[in-house]
């Protein structure tokens, strides 16, 4: 199994888009980056973003190919089309980086994130929290007489909505994984 | 074939297999095993510098003047941190160097051991790539990969950090295998885009070539092809500071350098062109000035091996990712097969427009019988050294810009200067590296007194290795370039821009065992320069020049190309508050 099943050159945009549109409107892009899983590689990617003043909205990383020691980094970032192209080109220059893909352009893609929320309360609030969790298909992964830990996964905005609903119901702690994303279809 | 040897032996063997003849270095505890191996061989010459920053700049000079990578060996901790400025300099100027650092033993990393520094962490943002090698078996392949990465694609500095226990331990040596490296940047440009550029060249009315350091990085063939293309099309050509020499200053289409201190005709040609062909230059802010007013009516083509250079600052219409020599070859081939067409009449008109601009004589200056004008000093130096096999390095400041304006470079790899980082203290050690590579050539460092003092300890190196480098100091007793900005921007409040308490440079030369020459009278200048050239050994030439001369032309920061200050301009208040935030 290839760690990143995207054929090079399958779309017009798959390498670098050297003729981007030059709009000044910020866009949100999800990038999938395949890197050698070696010491310091994440520091190189993150250092690039901080050193050049780019945004990171979300970042996830895990080894996806244990024999080839390849990790997949998913970064959600924002910027004008020119900045987004610059970010991809800069990441592409990092020596342990194998491939950079812009899932937003190459898409459509599916984005998922997992979150765990600790909600403390009793009485009506507790019942309401349980009801909402049901509607959002969140699972209860831990409970005491006064608390729940809900596990929810879905697109980031679904999780945002669930978090907002839980706030008045006794939300005390949130852990989120950040976005993992993959292209739809073959 | 794999052979067993110690890590320290592997370092030497790898350098040998990479064809390295010279290493610039400074020893210390964490590299003792490697120094022990250096002692026991004669293939590789080690040059003992006097400061690790000097080692890196010397390696840069060696690299830029030969096209081969420069090699540096320093110890852990302070040895490594002293190399940081040089690494950053090489990164910004795309100079291939390989720096080997010693590190505390792997099992002590993280314990704040003696002379431990997080060298990999510190140098990550100032290298193209760096490696910490924790197993001797991996050492030789990492060093070979380091050479491959430093010299392939857009060149740059790399660093290999080698813990002392790895140097002592035995392991298996592997030779160089660059073809198996995953890092293989694209050299050929996209033919469709190249054809699009050729079509634009055929119809362009006001074309200009804007060339840069990438032509020199690409190698001598690139300069040859560039000359062929320029001469065949008749298009005017300008170059950045970093690209000087790739097209000869004697060539008839030569406009001179462009940019902040570039020539009037070059900047106006950039501003007014309808087709800009950028070959291996990176739209640096010294070139573009006010971005929104930069060459407003041109179609812009950009040839660069690094995709991140394209569209980074200036929006490009015809992007071509590839190596200069490869792309120029294809441009020539396609342009010839399509019938060598240019828009002849329009281009001739454009050339005569440029001739009009030339008449402004933007480098003209008034000479003086009483004091040496720095421009005059360089004009004389140019005249008296033109026929020599000459290499020039510079420090940073006004003298650097005057060197770019008044010295003529007719071949690539002849002009070594710190462009991107602007590192004062670069020129002297760099001249040492150049002289090492070209022992019988005339090597001159054009210096300001303030810059020169920043790495003056390298006099010891020049003397020890008998390197006849000429230190041509344009001594204005000022931090001249900064003083100029204070004059133009800060109401002539000259805050700390005097070079106070200067040494007697002649005595200083003599104290090191070199020759010192001082000159303050324009009438003596030619003789003094000849004395410098003819002396077989290092010389410090203290050229006392006019103290308040400003460097013109100048495009003030935040201004477009067509708003240039010329020599006799009214200079007060020309930079508005918006421009003054820029450097
Ligand atoms: C005080 C001071 C004043 C200055 N004033 C000026 C000035 O007036 N005018 C001026 O020009 N500069 C000036 N500079 C220098 C300036 O800061 C920049 O260093 C310089 O303009 C950059 O030159 P370049 O664009 O040729 O790029 P370089 O830094 O030489 O970069 C080379 C480009 O070519 C690409 N490249 C590398 N190898 C290849 C290859 N094989 N094939 C294709 N592409 C390749 C690289 O990716 C890069 O984009 C000044 C510097 C100082 C310190
Ligand atoms: C290491 C470093 N520190 C500070 C500067 C800022 N700076 C640029 S030019 C300059 C003055 C250089 O003076 P000098 O070497 O005498 O040259 P001149 O401009 O007088 O020709 C200074 C301080 C720099 N470029 N590098």
Q: Is the CB of B476 under 6 A from ligand 2?
A: yes
Is the Cβ–Cβ distance between B412 and B220 less than 8 Å? yes
Q: Which residues of A touch B319 (CB under 8 A)?
A: 18-19
Q: What is the mean pLDDT of residues B278-289?
A: 95
CATH 3.30.70.1150 fits A109-183, yes or no: yes
**Residue minimizing CA distance to atom 28 of ligand 1:** B213
Q: A22-106 belongs to which CATH class?
A: alpha beta
Catalytic residue among B2, B4, B107, B114: B114
3-state secondary structure B535-578: CCCCEEEEEEECCCCCCCCECCCCCCCCCCECCCCCCCCCCCHH
Structure tokens at B554: 């100048």
Q: How would DSSP label each residue in B422-462?
A: --TT-HHHHHHHHHHHSTTSEEEEEEEHHHHHHTGGGHHHH
Element (H, E) at A166: helix A156-166
Cβ(A42)–Cβ(A73) below 8 Å: yes
d(CA B106, CA B97): 25
Give contacts of B160 with chain A, Cβ < 8 Å: none
Counting Cβ atoms within 10 Å, is residue A2 exposed (0-12), middle (13-18) or buried (19+)? exposed
Residues of chain A with CATH 3.30.70.1150: 109-183
Residue with tokens 């030339």: B358
Model pLDDT for residues B486-501, shown as the tens digit of each residue: 999 899 999 999 999 9
Give the pLDDT confidence score for residue B561 in this predicted structure: 81
Query: Is there a catalytic annotation at residue B532?
Result: no
Q: Angle at CA B90, nearest 5°, toward B86 and B92?
A: 120
- Binary contact (A47, B125; C-beta < 8 A): yes
A175: which DSSP letter?
Answer: E
For the segment A81-88, the average pLDDT, to the nearest whole number, is: 95
d(CA A47, nearest CA chain B) in Å: 7
Residue B32: both structure tokens together:
């003792």
C-alpha span between B110 and A68 (Å, rounded): 28
| Each residue's pLDDT tens digit, B382-406 | 999 999 999 999 999 999 999 999 9
Whether A43 sits inside 8 A of B121 (CB atoms) is: yes
Q: Could you tell me which residues are beta bridge partners of residue A143? A: A148
Question: How far is the centre of ligand 1, averaged over its atoms, from the C-alpha of B345 (Å)?
Answer: 32
CA–CA dist B141, B136 (Å, integer): 10
Q: What is the pLDDT of residue A7?
A: 47
Structure-token pair, residue A104: 């937003």
Closest alpha carbon within chain A to B120: A40
Residue that has been written with the tokens 């002289």 in this structure: B435
Cα B563 to ligand 2 centre (Å): 25
Per-residue burial over B26-62, b if 16 or more Cβ lie within 10 Å, else e, is: bbbebbbbbbebbeeeeebebbebbbbbbbbbbbbbb
For CATH 3.30.70.260, list the domain ranges present in chain A.
22-106
**What does the H/E/C string look like for A120-159?**
ECCHHHHHHHHHHHHHCCCEEEEECCCEEEEEEEECHHHH
Cross-chain residue pair A51–B125, CB shorter than 8 Å: yes
Cross-chain residue pair A47–B124, CB shorter than 8 Å: yes
State the count of interchain CB pairs (< 8 A) between A and B: 43
Q: What is the mean pLDDT of residues B184-191?
A: 96
Confidence (pLDDT) at B62: 98
Nearest Cα residue in chain A from B320: A18
Under the banding of pLDDT at 50, 70 and 90, the label for residue A16 is low
pLDDT single digits (tens) B419-475? 999 999 999 999 999 999 999 999 999 999 999 999 999 999 999 999 999 999 999
Q: Which residues of A touch B92 (CB under 8 A)?
A: none
- In this prediction the pTM is 0.95
Q: Using a CB-CB distance cutoff of 8 angstroms, which residues of chain B are in contact with residue A20?
A: 311
Question: pLDDT (tens digit, 9 = 90+) per residue, B299-331?
Answer: 999 999 999 999 999 999 999 999 999 999 999
ipTM for the assembly: 0.92
Cβ <8 Å between A86 and B311: yes
> What's the token pair of residue B398?
């006004």
Residue B569 has pLDDT above 90, yes or no: no
3-state secondary structure A51-100: HHCCCCCEEEEEEEECCCCEEEEEEEEEECHHHHHHHHHHHHHCCCEEEE
Task: Give the ligand at the shortest distance from the Cα of B447.
Answer: 2
pLDDT band at A11 (very low <50, low <70, confident <90, very high): very low
Average pLDDT, stretch B269-296? Answer: 95
Nearest Cα to B265, choosing from B360, B347, B402, B403?
B360
SS3 A177: coil
d(CA B539, CA B467): 10
Q: Is B481 a catalytic residue?
A: yes
* B129 → chain A, closest CA residue: A95
B409 confidence band (pLDDT: 50, 70, 90) = very high
């Amino acid at each position: 199994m290839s760690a990143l099943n995207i054929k090079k050159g399958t779309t017009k945009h798959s390498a670098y888009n050297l003729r981007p549109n030059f709009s000044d409107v910020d866009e949100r892009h999800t990038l999938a980056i395949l890197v050698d899983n070696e010491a310091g590689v994440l520091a190189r990617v993150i250092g690039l973003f901080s050193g050049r003043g780019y945004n990171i909205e979300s970042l996830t990383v895990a080894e996806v190919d244990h024999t080839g020691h390849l990790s997949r980094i998913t970064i959600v970032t924002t910027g004008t089309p020119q900045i987004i192209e610059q970010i991809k080109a800069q990441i592409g220059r990092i020596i342990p980086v194998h491939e950079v893909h812009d899932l937003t352009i190459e898409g459509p893609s599916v984005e998922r994130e997992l979150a765990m929320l600790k909600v403390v309360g009793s009485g009506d609030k507790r019942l309401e929290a349980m009801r909402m969790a049901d509607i959002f298909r969140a699972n209860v992964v831990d409970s005491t007489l006064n608390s729940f830990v809900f596990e929810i996964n879905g697109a980031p905005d679904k999780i945002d909505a669930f978090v907002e609903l839980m706030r008045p119901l006794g939300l005390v702690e949130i852990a989120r994984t950040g976005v993992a994303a993959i292209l739809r279809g073959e | 074939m794999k052979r067993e040897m110690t890590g320290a032996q592997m370092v030497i063997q790898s350098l040998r297999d990479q064809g390295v003849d010279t290493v610039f270095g400074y020893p210390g505890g964490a590299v003792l095993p490697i120094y022990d191996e250096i002692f026991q061989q004669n293939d590789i010459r080690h040059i003992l510098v006097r400061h690790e920053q000097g080692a890196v700049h010397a390696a840069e000079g060696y690299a830029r003047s030969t096209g081969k990578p420069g090699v540096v060996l320093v110890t852990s901790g302070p040895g490594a941190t002293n190399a940081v400025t040089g690494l950053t300099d090489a990164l910004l100027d795309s100079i291939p160097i390989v720096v080997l650092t010693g590190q505390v033993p792997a099992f002590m990393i993280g314990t704040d051991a003696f002379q431990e520094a997080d060298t990999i962490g510190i140098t990550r943002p100032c290298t193209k790539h760096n490696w910490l090698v924790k197993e001797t078996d991996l050492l030789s392949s990492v060093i070979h990969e380091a050479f491959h990465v430093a010299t392939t694609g857009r060149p740059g500095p790399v660093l290999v950090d080698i813990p002392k226990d790895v140097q002592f331990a035995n392991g298996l040596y592997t030779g160089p295998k660059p073809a198996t490296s995953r890092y293989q940047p694209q050299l050929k440009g996209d033919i469709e885009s190249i054809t699009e550029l050729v079509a634009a060249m055929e119809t362009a009315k006001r074309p200009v070539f804007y060339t840069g350091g990438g032509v020199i990085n690409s190698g001598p063939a690139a300069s040859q092809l560039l000359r062929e293309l320029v001469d065949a099309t008749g298009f005017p050509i300008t170059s950045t500071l970093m690209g000087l020499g790739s097209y000869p200053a004697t060539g008839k289409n030569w406009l001179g350098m462009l940019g902040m201190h570039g020539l009037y005709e070059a900047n106006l040609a950039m501003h007014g062109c309808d087709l800009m062909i950028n070959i291996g230059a990176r739209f640096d802010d010294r070139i573009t000035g006010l971005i929104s007013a930069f060459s407003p009516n041109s179609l812009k083509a950009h040839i660069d091996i690094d995709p991140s250079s394209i569209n980074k600052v200036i929006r490009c219409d015809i992007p071509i990712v590839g190596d200069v020599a490869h792309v120029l070859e294809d441009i020539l081939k396609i342009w010839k097969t399509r019938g060598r067409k240019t828009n002849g009449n329009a281009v001739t008109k454009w050339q005569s427009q440029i001739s009009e601009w030339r008449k402004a004589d933007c480098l003209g200056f008034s000479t003086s019988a009483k004091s040496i004008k720095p421009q005059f000093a360089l004009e004389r130096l140019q005249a008296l050294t033109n026929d020599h096999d000459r290499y020039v390095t510079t420090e940073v400041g006004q003298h650097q810009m005057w060197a770019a304006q008044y010295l003529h470079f007719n071949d690539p790899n002849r002009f070594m200067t710190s462009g991107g980082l602007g590192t004062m203290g670069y020129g002297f050690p760099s001249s040492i590296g150049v002289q090492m590579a070209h022992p019988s050539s005339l090597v001159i460092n054009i210096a300001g007194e303030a810059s020169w003092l920043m790495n003056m300890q390298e006099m010891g190196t020049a003397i020890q290795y008998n390197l006849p480098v000429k230190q041509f100091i344009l001594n204005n007793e000022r931090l001249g370039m900064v003083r100029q900005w204070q004059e133009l921007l800060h109401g002539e409040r000259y805050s700390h821009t005097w070079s106070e308490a200067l040494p007697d440079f002649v005595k200083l030369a003599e104290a090191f065992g070199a020759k010192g020459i001082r000159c303050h009278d324009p009438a003596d200048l030619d003789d003094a320069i000849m004395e410098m050239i003819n002396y077989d050994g290092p010389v410090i030439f203290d050229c006392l020049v006019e103290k308040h001369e400003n460097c013109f032309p100048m495009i003030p920061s935040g201004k477009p190309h067509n708003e240039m200050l010329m020599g006799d301009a009214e200079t007060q208040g020309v930079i508005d508050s918006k421009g003054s935030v820029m450097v």
